[in-house]
Structures are given as C-alpha cells and as structure tokens.
Amino acid sequence: MAFEEFGSGAAHISGSLAQRRRIRRCKLTVRSDMRKTRALPGPKAKRLIERDTLCMSKSYTRIYPLVVERGSGVWLWDVDGNRFLDFNAGIAVCATGHSHPQVVSALKDQISRFLHMSGTDFYYAAEINLAEKLSRITPGRFHKRVFLTNSGAEAVEAALKLCRYQTRRSQVIAFYGAFHGRTMGALSLTASKAVQRKYFSPFLAGVTHVPYADCLHCVYNLEYPSCDFACVNFIEEVVFQKSTSPEDVAAIFVEPIQGEGGYIVPPDGYHNRLKRLAEKYGILFVADEVQSGMGRTGKMFAIEHWDVVPDVVTVAKGIASGLPIGAAVARSPLMDWEPGAHGSTFGGNPVSCAAALATISLLEDGLVTNAARVGAFIMESLKEIEKRHRILGWVRGKGLMIGMEILKTRGDGKGNPDKRDLLVRHCFEKGLLILPCGESALRFSPPLVVSKKEAELALEIFEESLAEVEKERGGVGRAHSTFAAAGA
Ligand SMILES: Cc1ncc(COP(=O)(O)O)c(C=O)c1O
C-alpha cells in the first residue's frame, strides 16, 4: 500500500481506534518498504562513494553516504533502491519537490527551443517574464529592477557591488552567525563557522560583524524584550561611535532568519529596529532571502513576517526547484547603474528562468499556504516531542524553516553537537534525511509539497531516533564528524 493512501493526519489524531490501527499498519508497511539493503550505504552506493573519494574536492562536507538515483515529491531513492523522506530538499532548494511535472514540462519546452543566449547581451522573454514576476512578488509596491545570477553567493555579490556603487560608501555591517556564500565578497560577509574562512584572508576591507538577535545565545546575557534590542543599540552606540562612521556605511546585510548559522528566528521588532537605524543614516537594508525566501516560511519572503520593506532582496535556492539561478532585486533608481558596471554570462539563463517561472506559479497556487499549514503542524508536534525528551530544546521556526537544539540536558541549555551528529545519522539509517546547522542545531527544510501524512512519518522516525540517541552514551566523536564544517 502506498503511503499516500492511508488516512489524513487529522484522522490519525482524532479517528476511531480501528482507524488508528489501520493507519499504524499502513505506516509499518511503508516503513518496511523503505529499506532495501541491510546496511547503508548499499553495494552500488559504496562503489560510487569510493570513486567519489578519489576524484572530488576534499572540501565537500558529506554528511551521510546517500547516493541519489531519482526523486519524486518528498521522496528520494538511492542507487540501491532504498527510499528516503527528504527533509533537506537539497538544502532548502527543491521547493516544489523532486522533479515536479509542471517544472519538468516547462523545462522540456524551453530546452527544445534554445539553451543559452546570455541575458547580459541579448533579450529573451523568459528572463523578462521572470524579472517582472520577481518585481511583483518581492516586498514593496514600487518599481523595481532585477539582476539575475547563477547562485546565492553571486546574488549577494551583485547586491554588495550595487550598494557600494550607489552610495559611494565602502563599509558594510554584517552579523555573526551569518552565511552569505563562499565567493570572496560573500565570504567576507559570512561569519558562521571559522573553517569557512580559515586561510582565505585578507577579506574584503570594510566589513564589520556584529551580534545577531540570537536570543538563545545572547552575548549580552539579556532577555527579550527587556533588553530593548541591545544588539541593535550596539551598532549605533559602539560601532558608529568608535570605529565606523555611519556616513561610510553602504549597507546592512541581514538574513531575516539565519539559516546555516542555526535557523535562528529573531524576536518581533528586531528587523523593524534595524531598518529604522539604516534609514536614519541613509544605509541600505539588504535582506538575504536566499534560504528563507520563496515561500519556505509560509510567506513568500521571511521579512514579510515583520512588515519590513528592504532596499534590496537577494534570492536563490528555492526559486527554481533545483536549477541554478539567483537574483538581486532592488528599487528601480537604486539599480540604475551604467551599462557594463555588472554582468554575467550564464546569469538568468533561459532554462533556469523557465524553471523559476514554473516554480513561482506553483508557490502562488498553494505551496506557500501549504508551507504555513504543514509547518505549523510540524512545529506543534515538535513542541510535544520536546516535552518528552530532555535532549531536545528550543524548537523554533516559521513555516517549513524549522530549527531545534540538541542539548546535553535541558536544564543547562548547553548544546551537544556529538549527539546532534549521531541523531542525524540515526535518522538517515531509518530513512529520514535532515541536516545540521549552527553549533548544535538541526534543521527541517522539506520541500513545500510535503503533506501532513509525510510530516507525521518524518516525526515518527525523528522521535524514534531521538529516543535511541538519548539513551546512548557519548556521540560519534568530533574527530569522525564533518558536521562542524557542514552546510550552506
Ligand atoms: C542566506 C544565504 N545566502 C547565500 C547563500 C549562498 O548561496 P549559494 O550556495 O547558492 O552560493 C546561502 C547558501 O546556503 C544562504 O543560505
């Protein structure tokens, strides 16, 4: 019996005993059907990983030995026929699930006509349609312009160059815990894990990092709301007074919800205060929505949860269901730079544009709403699970951007990266794909097509794994773990 066939999530909670028994039987069938090989990786995966080990860059951060063969919706199959529930979505990319038929059909149509033209030098409808669409869906009802790129880091680079160009100011404020990409400009803004920067200095001059509104690990040891946003006041009262004149600051780059740095949701009012500060000194407010955007949080853009309208929005990841594309979207007068000031050979290529248009139309037709609905269900369930397990804490998130901390014990609030790593591995062994983030956090970022039933199954696997890990002594050991360096 296919998993999709058994009763709804609501029935699972409130149905009769017979109904609940039937659902339980179906779930067991689905679960027993997921694993085909005795050990993971299976023989085919093992052979491919051996070859990979010899030819691929050693900088890659492989979390577990998953070798994918195909995918559909929230499900992935490895080369040995094992089936996995994908709660990563290719690091928050495959918003419409794997190989959504509408996206595939849009791609086929575009591929049969032409593959490339270079939108920097020539015109084509897909690029124009996408720019118009992005202008309409990004926050702010004013005329905008769009610069298309191949990735999130490139979108950040474009935003950074634009802000410097237009303000003629050199300095930038960014945040500890931020991840903006790995190209040199974007990396200069990134301050998530030291290993991502080690041996790459000198970085772009003029970047000042300041504490984010990470209330779980408040560097001031204060509590919200009595803290009165000490982290924002610090910028004005310390940075602007002692080291960096605000008249030299071009932009504040901020993730509405920090992603790779730990799925940190700032408290209400934070972005509003930050925006007011930026406005006071003529500083541009750049919202990096590469991970939090495109419907993932239950609104098209995460910054909309706080009614803040940024000057520039950067997007990538979830915009095209897996095809490489990113964008910097800005007020029209701001993106008025002279021809030749910036460009890209592949940026906004027609195939990626076609995928993005199909993706956005699916997001608008229900997937953003689904992210809010199923996200709320997962969050509620995780809060219940949290009560039953002392090593799980600080469940947070919006929509389907959900983070949680794995702790030594709940009381002292200290993170337990070893157990977190072990838990990720246990989940993988049972067929659930999740990823770490931050020091000791986990993230759930499933495709936005995930159903309540699929979420229930994921939560069941997660809690089972959590219970096992809770009982085990120690973890996988940091020496064997690549997680400290993992993520994007
Ligand atoms: C918020 C944010 N900005 C930028 C990037 C960089 O994107 P890419 O890996 O596509 O270069 C990421 C990647 O994880 C991200 O999460």
Q: Burial level of 228, CB count in 10 A (0-12/13-18/19+)?
A: exposed
For β-strands 312-315 and 326-331, DSSP reports them as antiparallel
Q: Map tokens 């694993």 to a residue.
A: 35
Smallest CA-to-CA distance from 359 within 92, 73, 102, 71 is with: 102
Residue nearest to atom 8 of ligand 1 (CA): 152
Which pLDDT value is given to residue 140? 98
Residue 340 neighbours by CB under 8 Å, 6+ apart = none
What CATH architecture does domain 103-362 belong to?
A: 3-Layer(aba) Sandwich (3.40)
Contact 1, 29 (CB under 8 A): yes
For residue 453, pLDDT over 70 is answered with yes
Tell me how far the alpha carbon of residue 180 lies from the centroid of ligand 1, in angstroms. 5
**How remote is the CA of residue 32 from the centroid of ligand 1, in Å?**
36
Q: Which amino acid is at 393?
A: G
Distance from the alpha carbon of residue 6 to the mean position of ligand 1, in angstroms? 37
Q: Parallel, antiparallel, or unpaired for β 284-288 and 312-315? A: parallel
Q: Which residues pair with 254 in a beta bridge?
A: 287
- Which residue minimizes the CA distance to atom 13 of ligand 1? 488
Expressed in angstroms and rounded, the spacing between residue 184 Cα and the centre of ligand 1 is 13
Q: What is the pLDDT of residue 409?
A: 80
18-53 b/e with 16+ CB inside 10 Å = b?
eeeebbeebbeebbeebbebeebbbeebbeeeeeee
Position in ligand 1 atom list of the atom nearest CA 288: 1
- Report residues whose beta carbon is within 6 angstroms of any ligand 1 atom: 151-153, 156, 179-181, 255, 259-260, 288, 290-291, 316, 488
CA atoms of 487 and 396, how far apart (whole Å): 19
Relative to the CA of 259, which ligand 1 atom is closest?
16
Read off the tokens for 441: 């956090």
CA separation, residue 103 to residues 2, 319, 321, 330, 400 (Å): 24, 11, 8, 27, 21
Please tell me the predicted confidence (pLDDT) of residue 99.
98
pLDDT in tens, 314-329: 999 999 999 999 999 9
pLDDT top residue among 13 and 435:
435
Task: Judge whether residue 477 has pLDDT over 50.
Answer: no
Q: Which residue's alpha carbon is at the smallest distance from atom 3 of ligand 1?
A: 180
Average pLDDT, the chain: 93
In this prediction, residue 11 carries a pLDDT of 35
Cα(309) to ligand 1 centroid in Å equals 21
Asked if the model's pLDDT at residue 340 lies above 90, the reply is yes
- Predicted confidence at residue 107, as pLDDT, reads 98
What ranges in 340-404 are assigned the alpha helix state H?
Answer: 350-362, 368-388
Residue 69 structure tokens: 């063969």
Amino acid sitting at position 457: L
Domain ranges of the chain: 103-362
Helices (H), 281-320: none
Pocket probe mutation, ligand 1, options 212, 255, 291, max atoms within 8 Å of Cβ? 291
Residue nearest to atom 7 of ligand 1 (CA): 152
pLDDT at 19: 73
Measured distance CA(93)–CA(85) in Å, rounded: 15
The torsion defined by the Cα of 398, 399, 400 and 402, in degrees rounded to 10, comes to 20
Tell how far the Cα of 181 is from the centroid of ligand 1, in angstroms.
Answer: 5
- What ligand 1 atom has the least distance to the C-alpha of 260? 16
Q: What is the Å distance from ligand 1's center to 157 Cα?
A: 11
- Ligand 1 mutation pick, 61, 88, 154, 179, max ligand atoms within 8 A of CB: 179
Pairing of strands 392-398, 249-254: unpaired
Instruction: Look at residue 192 and tell me whether its pLDDT is greater than 60.
Output: yes
Q: Given pLDDT bands bounded at 50, 70 and 90, which one contains residue 221? A: very high
> Rounded to whole angstroms, what are the CA distances from 26 to 3, 84, 454?
7, 17, 12
Distance 316 CA to ligand 1 centre (A): 7
Average pLDDT of span 126-142: 98
Instruction: Round to whole Å and give the CA distance between 164 and 180.
Output: 17
Q: Which atom, in ligand 1's list, is nearest to the CA of 292?
A: 1
H-helix segments, 270-367: 270-280, 350-362
Give per-residue pLDDT as tens, 51-86. Answer: 999 999 999 999 999 999 999 999 999 999 999 999
Please name the residue whose Cα sits nearest to atom 14 of ligand 1. Answer: 488
What pTM was computed for the model?
A: 0.93
Least confident of 2-11, 20-29, 119-128, 170-179: 2-11
Residue 18 binned pLDDT confidence (cut-offs 50, 70, 90): confident
Which atom of ligand 1 is closest in space to residue 487's alpha carbon? 14
Mutate to test the pocket of ligand 1, among 180, 296, 297 (most ligand atoms within 8 A of CB): 180
